[in-house]
Amino acid sequence: MIRRRLLLAGLTLAPFAARAHEPRRGPNGGQKVDIGTNHAELVAAGNTLRLFLFDGADRPIAATGATAQAVILAGGRQATVALAPSGDNVLAGTGDFLAARGMRAVVTLTLPGQRPVQARFTPMDQN
């Protein structure tokens, strides 16, 4: 009986929990996805990656103290790029890859004092 009531309560809560956002275009022309409880936008150009950090309400987060590592699969080759803070809310890094259509990247972001979180990007495939 208690279980049924709890289930009922859970159901009343359910409509508030909407679906997570799909990958979308960010303000800097990259792809923005959810990363942990925050949002991140990845911009790839040539052999450079830039990762813009936002909180859940899309307000920029300071990149100071944050580290990130990106695994990139482009042109049938895999590369690992370390990203370091290079601006207010930007982490950047260069690596042995060439941004092209079909490129996939998995970014592992570690914010100061937080557990590493991962997100998958397809920065060159949108629209």
Partner 1 sequence: MLIRLLLLVTLLAAPVLRPAFSHEGHSHGDEPAPPAAAAPRAEAHSDLFEIVAVLGPDRRLWLYLDRHATSEPIDRATVQVSLDGEDLGTATRASEAVYVLANPAVERPGSRNLVFTITAGEDMDLLPATLEVPTAAGALTAAPVSSELLSIALREPYLWAAGLLVLLLGVAIGRAAAPRPLPPLVVAEPPAIGTHPHALPSGAPMQERVAAAPAVLALAAILLLPALAWAQPLDAPRRQPDGSIFVPKPSQRLLGLRTGPAELGEASVTIHLTGQVVADPNASGRVQASEAGRIEPPERGFPVLGQRVAQGEVLGFVLPIMAAQDRVGVRASIAELDSLIVIAEARVRRFTALTGTVAQAEINDARALLEGLRQRRAANLPAVTGREPIVAPSAGLISVVRVAAGQVIQAQEPLFDIVDPARLWVEAIAFDPAAVAEVSGASAVTAGGQALRLGFVGRGMTLRQQGLPLHFRIEGGASGLAVGQPVTVLVETPRRAAGIVLPAEAVVRNPEGGQVVYEMPSAERFLARPVRVQPLDGQRVLVTAGLERGARVVTSGAGLIAQVR
Using CA atoms, how far apart are residues 73 and 101, in angstroms rounded to an integer? Answer: 11
Q: CB nearer to partner 1: give 13 or 46.
A: 13
Tell me which H or E stretch contains 19: none
The residues near 101 (Cβ < 8 Å, ≥ 6 apart) are 124, 125
Using CA atoms, how far apart are residues 118 and 107, in angstroms rounded to an integer? Answer: 6
Query: Which residues would be at the binding site for partner 1 (CB under 8 A)?
Result: 1-3, 5-10, 12-13, 16-21, 34, 36-37, 56-58, 69, 71-73, 76, 78, 80, 104-106, 108, 115-120
Q: CB nearer to partner 1: give 37 or 94.
A: 37
In whole angstroms, the minimum distance from the beta carbon of 109 to partner 1 comes to 10
Q: CB nearer to partner 1: give 57 or 127.
A: 57
